[in-house]
Amino acid sequence: MNVPNCEISGLIEFLVRARAAPVNPSHFKGLIGKGYGLEYLADIVRNALFVSKGHRENVAVSLVLERSKDFSRVIRFSGASLGSFKDLHETAILNRIFDALCAAEKLKKNEELKENEGVFVSAQSFEAYFSSKIQTQTPYLLDKKGQDIRLVTFEPEPLFLLTDHTPMPRNSKKSLLKSGISAVSVGPTILHSSQCIAVVLNELDRKSI
Ligand SMILES: C[S@@+](CC[C@H](N)C(=O)[O-])C[C@H]1O[C@@H](n2cnc3c(N)ncnc32)[C@H](O)[C@@H]1O
């Protein structure tokens, strides 16, 4: 079953910057369970896309893995075209990320490929991906110090920026805020990224009542 979100009929995207996550597939696999926080990426994908009996077809989640000798890799899971996603446990989702990294090993700068139904991977930086997205979508920075999400009227195609467990580089945050991006808070407690995503989607669901 696909679950539309009524308040926002267009795409809702979460862009997650994972600064310490390696793009090399065997390096990625080797660090799972070793205290590098890669498991958070599975929680992020699960909370962004899946509900009890299906998935959200108007949501995408893009993970930018930045530890690389050449280019970052952006892995985008798109609810609109998601194929079979049989298992939702942590290992299964991490394996999907691993598969996408394997498929993307030989990508040249800015190339993108479809790794599977609803799974796309490209070789580009966070900045390049962000710049291309904001041509059609409105960005919001998820930040504890931002405006209360309950007071925000969202534009039709919101793009929510956040990091995994690693902080946003200070200069990036400064320049994003300087560019006029709205900062949005989901409350006074610093949450895990996956929890923020669940709260954002819940708030958007509730606005549609
Ligand atoms: C686990 S937090 C990152 C914690 C990291 N140590 C730091 O200081 O930035 C991951 C992301 O969740 C988002 N976040 C966490 N709590 C939030 C809140 N209360 N409101 C809005 N965004 C929040 C921020 O975007 C943050 O980058």
> What is the DSSP secondary-structure string of 166-209?
SPPPHHHHHHHHHTTPEEEES-SSPPPHHHHHHHHHHHHHHHT-
On whether residue 99 sits in a domain, the answer given is: yes
Is there a domain that residue 139 lies in?
Answer: yes
What does the pLDDT read at residue 87? 85
Q: Is the CB of 199 under 6 A from ligand 1?
A: no
In a domain, 122, yes or no: yes
Q: Determine, yes or no, domain membership for 7.
A: no
Side chain identity at residue 82, one-letter code: L
Provide the residue range defining the domain that includes 95: 12-207
Reply yes or no on whether the pLDDT at 86 is more than 90.
no
Question: So what's the pLDDT on residue 124?
Answer: 97
Q: How far is the CA of 146 from the centre of ligand 1 (A)?
A: 11
Residue 25 lies in a domain: yes
pLDDT at 203 over 70: yes
Q: Could you tell me which residues come within 8 angstroms of residue 156 by beta carbon, excluding any fewer than 6 positions away?
A: 8, 9, 10, 138
CATH of residue 85's domain is 3.40.1280.10
Report the separation in Å between the CA atom of 153 and the middle of ligand 1, taken as the mean of its atom positions. 21
Tell me, rounded to whole angstroms, the distance of Cα 142 from its chain centroid. 12
Is 191 close to ligand 1, i.e. is its CB under 6 Å away? yes
Q: Establish if 55 belongs to a structural domain.
A: yes
Residue of the nearest CA to atom 3 in ligand 1?
165
3-class SS at 48? helix
Q: What confidence category does residue 62 fall into, taking pLDDT thresholds of 50, 70 and 90?
A: very high
For residues 110 and 123, the answer to whether their CB atoms sit within 8 Å is: yes
Residues 121 and 171: their CA atoms lie apart, in Å, by 26
Strand-pair category, 138-148 with 182-185? parallel
- Residue 120 pLDDT > 50: yes
CA of 1 to the centre of ligand 1 (A): 31
- In this structure, the dihedral spanned by the alpha carbons of residues 71, 66, 163 and 199, taken in order and rounded to 10 degrees, is 70
Q: How many domains does the chain have?
A: 1
* pLDDT of res. 7: 47
Structural domain contains residue 184: yes
Centre of ligand 1 from the C-alpha of residue 122, in Å: 25
Q: What is the mean pLDDT of residues 156-164?
A: 96
Mean pLDDT across the chain, nearest whole number? 93
Structural domain includes residue 85: yes
Site to substitute for ligand 1 among 142, 172, 185, 199, most atoms within 8 A of C-beta: 142
Task: Determine whether the shortest distance from the Cβ of 172 to ligand 1 is under 6 A.
Answer: no
The count of other CB atoms within 10 Å of the CB of residue 190 is 9
